[in-house]
Amino acid sequence: MKLTRTARLGALAASAALVLTACSSSDDGDAAADGGGETGDLKVWFMDGSVPDEAQDWLVDEFEAQNEGSTLTIEIQQWDGIVEKIQTAMASESQTPDIVEVGNTQSPTYTAVGAFTDVTDKVDAWGGDDLIQSFIDVGSVDDKVYTVPFYAGSRIFYYNTETFEKAGVEPPTSLDDFTEVVSTLTEANPDDVEDFKGAYIAGVDQHTLEAWLYTHGGQYAVQEGDQWVGNLSSAESMEAIDQVAELYEAGVLGAEDSVDAAQEPWNDFNEGRVAMFSGLTWSFPNIAEDLRENDKVGVFAVPGLEDGSLGKTFAGGSNLGIAAKSQNKDLAASVMDLLYSDDFQIMMAQNGWVPGNTTFADAQGTADNAALLAEVAANSQLTPPAQYWALVEGENLDKDFWKAIARGDDPAEVVESTDARMEELLNK
């Protein structure tokens, strides 16, 4: 039912002309500063699969009831080719949607060139501190907020409780413990399965492996002045990278797996070849029925460095913004008010997402572990908020980096070449 979402959360701007200077607006960008009057015909772009039909219907009906004489049209967009489509539409006052959903790591590409309106003064009304902070960070420039969190998909580990019990282990409570648990499971192989491994993490599943990087305090790149500098060679990053290399040696399956295989990480788990796997919110329905119905599936979050602490994971998802060239900014702000209302946030949660306002995460209809998912999203970290980060993803530099580490390439050599290429791409 939701098999395409994993790809969608990770496929953020595979190719695009990323210089969006045509989107720059001549106004000062203040929210609702030059709205088009008391009535208008508004257009919202949502991405395919993001918003359930009943929530779309509710939004249109509620907006038009509250704003007599105005209309709201929702247009569903496909992720494939969306960067180019947004680039073209948002450069034109006559073509631009009023509100646009963008992938969270796409946000810096647009905010840096003035494509969205400054909504800093609206953030408190839309959730304030309860909004996913990492999403706020990538939607901000110079302490001004331009895009806000729409929803997130939290990464957690699903594990076979019976296999863990037979091997005499509990879910790990620190990253060091994680490696030990994987090693113990692999060596124990309690059901005598051929080529059994403790865990499944595809080498190209960069967003799972980034949890080690972020938890250790590392990052792909950091900004120094007006330049981005590769940070994988930092002491914090290298500690994480070395630990990931040790993890695969301890017993992780998937180092050489394809992107397609990474999108269905439950397959080896269902066949009993691994004891756990990293998955998103909607992975649970894809787990084998006998495991689910016999209470053999448990969950845990990536732990932190200290025993009992929570690690920092990447949270895929989307942000929302009001187009800088919208002629109906006052009304667009009213639509945003509805999007962050209790009713709409609950509907998003019931669709299986961690909503932008994590207060409503416990309304998730597809996950019994809603509180854990919300905690993971609230503690998440994203890729660098660099204008040209989409070039990194488009070149698969991040995926290729982790795949090389997973298959056992020399970390120092891989880091040196990746840092150099990262700087070339981010400092265009």
> Could you report the per-residue pLDDT of 396-427, keeping only the tens digit for each?
999 999 999 999 999 999 999 999 999 999 99
Do the Cβ atoms of 326 and 96 come closer than 8 Å?
Answer: yes
The alpha carbon of 152 is separated from its chain's Cα centroid by a whole number of angstroms, namely 6
- Residue ranges of the alpha helices (H) in 27-132? 53-66, 82-90, 107-111
Structure tokens at 311: 């690690």
- What confidence score (pLDDT) does residue 368 get? 59
DSSP string, 359-373: GGGGG-SS-TTHHHH
What is the band of 367 on the pLDDT scale with cuts at 50, 70, 90? low
Cα–Cα distance measured from residue 186 to residue 157, given in angstroms and rounded to the nearest whole number: 17
Average pLDDT over residues 50-58: 96
Do the Cβ atoms of 171 and 228 come closer than 8 Å?
Answer: no
Q: Which of 157, 159, 139, 132 is nearest to 315 (CA)?
A: 132
Structure tokens at 37: 């009057």
Least confident among 270-274, 360-364, 392-396: 360-364
What is the band of 281 on the pLDDT scale with cuts at 50, 70, 90? confident
Cα–Cα distance measured from residue 22 to residue 38, given in angstroms and rounded to the nearest whole number: 28
Do the Cβ atoms of 62 and 54 come closer than 8 Å?
Answer: no
Indicate if the pLDDT at residue 143 is higher than 80: yes
What is the band of 386 on the pLDDT scale with cuts at 50, 70, 90? very high
Share of the chain above pLDDT 70, in %: 90
Strands 221-224 and 316-322 turn out to be unpaired
Cα–Cα distance measured from residue 118 to residue 99, given in angstroms and rounded to the nearest whole number: 13
pLDDT tens by residue, 370-384:
778 888 988 999 999
Structure tokens at 209: 């492996």
Cα–Cα distance measured from residue 394 to residue 30, given in angstroms and rounded to the nearest whole number: 32
Cα–Cα distance measured from residue 71 to residue 43, given in angstroms and rounded to the nearest whole number: 8
Sign of the four-CA dihedral 90, 91, 92, 93: positive
